[in-house]
Amino acid sequence: MVKLSAKCIVAGDTTVGKSTLVQLFRSDGSHFPKNYSMTTSMEVSVKNVQIPDTGDSVELFLCDSPGKAIFYEVTEKLWDQPGALCLVFDVTNESSFSSCAKWLQRVRAKTFSPQLPGVLVGNKTDMAGRRAVERGQAEEWAASNGLEYFETSAKELENFEQPFQALAKAFHHLYQERVENFRSLM
Amino acid sequence: MTRAGDLCLSCAGARVTLATSSDDRHPADNIIDGNPDTFWTTTGMYPQEFIISLNGIQKINKIILQSSLVRSVRIESSTSKEPVNFELRLERDLENTEGHLQYEEFTLPGVQVAHMRFVILSGFDHFVSVHRVSAEGDK
């Protein structure tokens, strides 16, 4: 039995719902912040995720990061050696989707590891009438960048757990692979 | 002159008194069991550290670290009775050796130590392994 720890960077443009997703996941869906409050410095929430069919778990240190450009310089210093990435955009906001490439590159630049488990999350699917980014388009971009794609509606409490569970699972899988490698070293 | 013995062995009275990661399957005691096939793994995030307490105060000449994926390490030592009051000995960046163990020698001529603290500051991946630490003296 092992308890792993992963520093999980939650990144994306401002107002896409990063903090709401983190708060929902951390509180098992009981805390939905109704009013907007801009995140101005990195806020860390810790959440333990059980890995099914093993006695193992992954403690995610969710680093909710400000999306607004003026806070980036400070945030970036706190992103050293990330273990996982949760990239969030708003499906009704095209430019928040195109920014994902920039956020991905910024976080990847902070790791020495060849692999960084990552998910792309399209949030606010409840606003179906205003959708500006199609699922297929997002899925395609995610796949070409080695990310798993999820759609969520934090407001409707839909799917908010899946992206984080997928990250924990991917991190656990990497650990098992590594340990196998360690065994074969001479 | 008699050949120096390895002071970092459980059978020589050494103990791992702290490790910041623990997987039951790869415990920190594997670092001092004398067998490079067994290892301790870190379980995510940096820094990570472990402390080896020797059998009393010993004079050492060098430390050998066998590991994998360690990118930078800091070694500190203490002569206190308890593992406290550590002093910085050295800090070093290691090469990534794919497919085999990192074998790193640290020369510390005639240094008195009771406890050695190894801080792994960064790794080449999310996890690193430490297979063996040995310290040779000149008893």
Do A58 and B44 count as a contact with CB atoms less than 8 A apart? Answer: yes
The domains of chain A, with CATH numbers, are 3-176 (3.40.50.300)
Quote the tokens at residue A45.
Answer: 């929430």
Quote the tokens at residue A81.
Answer: 């050696």
pLDDT value for B139: 54
Query: How many distinct structural domains can be found in chain B?
Result: 1
Q: Please report residues of A whose CB lies closer than 8 A to that of B68.
A: 181-182, 185
Residue B5 falls inside a structural domain: no
Closest chain A residue to the Cα of B35, Cα to Cα: A186
pLDDT band (50, 70, 90) for residue B3: very low
Comparing CB atoms, the residue among A58, A114, A175 nearest residue B127 is A175
Range name among A14-18, A168-172, B1-5, B124-128 with the lowest pLDDT average: B1-5
Segment A110-124, tens digit of pLDDT: 999 999 999 999 999
Using DSSP's 3-state secondary structure scheme, residue B135 falls into strand
Residue B28 falls inside a structural domain: yes
Provide the phi-psi class of A21: left if phi over 0, else alpha when psi is between -120 and 50, else beta: alpha
Name the β-bridge partners of B40.
B130
Q: Is B26 on the interface with A (CB under 8 A)?
A: yes
Q: Of A133, A141, A140, nearest to A101 (Cα)? A: A141
Residue B45 falls inside a structural domain: yes
What ipTM does the predicted assembly reach?
A: 0.93
Q: Are strands B40-41 and B129-137 parallel, antiparallel or unpaired?
A: antiparallel
pLDDT value for A66: 96
- Nearby residues of A48 by Cβ (< 8 Å), 6 or more positions away: A3, A57, A58, A59, A60
Quote the tokens at residue A172.
Answer: 């656990």
Q: Please report residues of A whose CB lies closer than 8 A to that of B126.
A: 6, 83, 113, 171, 174-175, 178
Q: What are A's interface residues with B at a Cβ cutoff of 8 A?
A: 1-7, 58, 61, 80-81, 83, 112-115, 171, 174-175, 178-179, 181-182, 185-186
| Structural domain range at position B118 | 10-137
CA A74 to chain B, closest CA, distance in angstroms equals: 19
pLDDT band (50, 70, 90) for residue B47: very high
pLDDT band (50, 70, 90) for residue B4: low
Residue B130 falls inside a structural domain: yes
* CATH number of the domain to which B60 belongs: 2.60.120.260
